[in-house]
Structure 1
Amino acid sequence: MVVGRRVVVRHRLPDGAASDALGELVAADAERLVVATRRGEVVVARRDVLAAKGVPPAPSRAARTGAAQVGAETLELVAAEHWRPGEREDLGAWRLRAADGFTGRANSALAVGDPGCDLDSALTRVREFYAARGLEAVVAAPTGDLTAELQRRGWTVRTPTLVMTADLPTGGGSASGIALDAGVVLDDEPDDAWLAAYQGRGPVGQAGRQVLLSADEQVFASVRERSVGRDAGGEVLAVARGSLSAHPEGAWLGLSAVETSPAHRRRGLALRVTGALLAWGAQRGARAAFLQVAVSNTAARALYERAGFTAHHEYRYLVAPS
């Protein structure tokens, strides 16, 4: 590897998990590599290197294309860095993910790219991975030839999901015509009241909290009774999570965990927390945003369209036959 070149180095962490260091290779010797990433220098011992390769130079901001120009598989990899599981095992380019059952995204095999083996062998490994953890075997993949083939083999479709994107304006301030809302509380971590409001989807637990805090940066938005801060003990009326993660495609804002208290729906609260997060992401240099929503959730889709999002692609969760 050539010093001065932009590289990505996959390496083993002390806990056995893997991580990527993306940036300029500033030093290399027989014992270590030093990569200057956006978040500072990362020193990787040679013995911990799992894979390393050169990558193209980062595109300039002026050269970046709109969100609609990014392919489905690329965007799936972008999204994966915003919702990282506690466990991950790579099978070629596929990612086998587990987080104690917290959400489908964190407990499914992301099947994009080449698994490095034939499909039968790949699916056998997927079954083994999830069986060892007491979880059902689930594959997540953009709608296409693979999802059609899995259905032909008897894998069952669960929760067809739509990925939506929006381009963000430069300069921060407002996004998609929605101004940053001073009545929306933004916190670096979710407090118990935020988690309780989100738990309509089921208990979060330690694994869930780890996933919620897994991006390079995240913020937790809430609208609270009387628009007071978290220390004043106001009732949480609506919540959402915004996240940022570095990727060769540039900075993307991820929008997730949007929930409104049933007693306070139809008051525009979800639009308020969504708008606040779009503005937050734009202020931090994100040029585009994405979210994932069930195809059947027409009310949420209409809300996101009002916030400036359009359909990008669909993906499927497919469950292995018994």
Structure 2
Amino acid sequence: MSAALLQAMTATWPAAQTRRVGPWILREGEGGGNRVSAATAEAPVSTDDLRDAERGMRDLGQTPLFMVRAGEDTLDALLDAAGYAVRDPVVVYETDVSALAERDLPRLSAFTHWPPLAIVDEIWRDGGIAGPRRAVIDRAPAPKIAVLARADNRPAGALFAATHGRIAMVHAVETLPALRRRGAGRHMMIAAARWARDRGASVLALAVTRENAPAVALYESLGMRVATSYHYRVGA
């Protein structure tokens, strides 16, 4: 299931372009962040293969960056020996859609819609999801949805979700700092699960950095469980 989750993640948060170079998939992120810029190994790699990937990423105007998935210990050791530093250890959480969708959702607490409302874009922009990162949302294939949360009668948070097969992936979760701990994150996740259930998805998942303790606490309080993990290795 972990491979399917990572496939859904890349399908619903897509790079601008991808190309195969030997055992690698190289991604052109156009400034959209690690997830859409990191190369992944699809077969065993050698030091020579690493040099090919480095050249390919530099030709794209990108600093060499690799995603190392759970179990890729040989790749991790190769990159470590080549001087690549660990960046942003990430965990991928999943849960049964129907279980989350059945949780209580207070009236007027979260709204699903597409295209995103202007206030959703404002919330994303305040959270750093603008320009190239916002473009990732636009190029993600349908079905997809934006969720707006309200708390204290004010807009409080936003997220993006899209489906790939029977997996719904959540991305771009942002809650306004002044309205945190008001249930906005919980309500958005439940609304996203209900939307996903209505589109035939059976699993809801998302990726979050390990160091994001408030987000980790929220997802675990919703009964989500760690399905897999990965980290990045970045060069100079």
Asked if these proteins are the same fold (TM beyond 0.5), I'd say yes
Matched with 1:196 is: 122
Matched with 2:3 is: 73
SS of alignment partner, residue 223 of structure 2: coil
Gaps of 5+ in 1: 1-69, 228-234
- Give CA deviations for 1:6-58 in whole Å, capped at 9, x if unaligned: xxxxxxxxxxxxxxxxxxxxxxxxxxxxxxxxxxxxxxxxxxxxxxxxxxxxx
Matched with 1:46 is: none
SS of alignment partner, residue 98 of structure 2: coil
* Distance change in 2, residues 1:108/1:162 (3 Å): same
Matched with 2:68 is: 141
Matched with 2:31 is: 101
Kindly state the Cα deviation for residue 182 of structure 1 after the two structures are TM-superposed.
Answer: 4.2
Give the counterpart letter for 2:157 in structure 1.
A
* Distance change in 2, residues 1:224/1:82 (3 Å): same
Matched with 2:149 is: 223
Mapped partners of 2:191, 2:84: distance in 1: 39
CA radius of gyration, larger in: 1
- Give CA deviations for 1:181-222 in whole Å, capped at 9, x if unaligned: 5431222122332122112443521x3333113133210001
Gaps of 5+ in 2: none
Mapped partners of 1:203, 1:178: distance in 2: 29
Q: How does 1:31-110 map to 2 (within 5 A)?
A: 70=1, 72-91=2-21, 94-110=24-40
Kindly state the Cα deviation for residue 306 of structure 1 after the two structures are TM-superposed.
Answer: 1.5
Residue of 168, 172, 183 corresponding to 2:109? 183
Mapped partners of 1:278, 1:285: distance in 2: 11
SS of alignment partner, residue 275 of structure 1: helix
Q: Structure 2 length as normaliser, TM-score?
A: 0.88
- Give CA deviations for 1:216-249 in whole Å, capped at 9, x if unaligned: 321000124776xxxxxxx531001111123xxx
Matched with 1:163 is: 92
Q: What's the RMSD between the two structures over aligned residues?
A: 2.3
Is the CA contact (8 Å cut-off) linking 2:129 and 2:172 kept in structure 1? no
| Count of aligned positions | 233
* Distance change in 2, residues 1:119/1:260 (3 Å): same
SS of alignment partner, residue 81 of structure 1: helix
Mapped partners of 2:103, 2:192: distance in 1: 13
Mapped partners of 1:142, 1:108: distance in 2: 12
Kindly state the Cα deviation for residue 169 of structure 1 after the two structures are TM-superposed.
Answer: 2.2
Give the counterpart letter for 2:179 in structure 1.
H
* Distance change in 2, residues 1:176/1:160 (3 Å): farther
Matched with 2:201 is: 286
Matched with 1:38 is: none
Is the CA contact (8 Å cut-off) linking 1:176 and 1:307 kept in structure 2? no
Kindly state the Cα deviation for residue 109 of structure 1 after the two structures are TM-superposed.
Answer: 1.0
Residue of 211, 216, 241 corresponding to 2:136? 211
- Give CA deviations for 1:239-272 in whole Å, capped at 9, x if unaligned: 01111123xxxx1010111111111111111111
Mapped partners of 1:102, 1:203: distance in 2: 9
Identity of matched residues, % = 25
Q: Structure 1 length as normaliser, TM-score?
A: 0.66
Give the counterpart letter for 1:209 in structure 2.
R
Matched with 1:268 is: 183
Structure with the greater relative contact order (CA < 8 A, sep ≥ 6): 1 or 2? 2
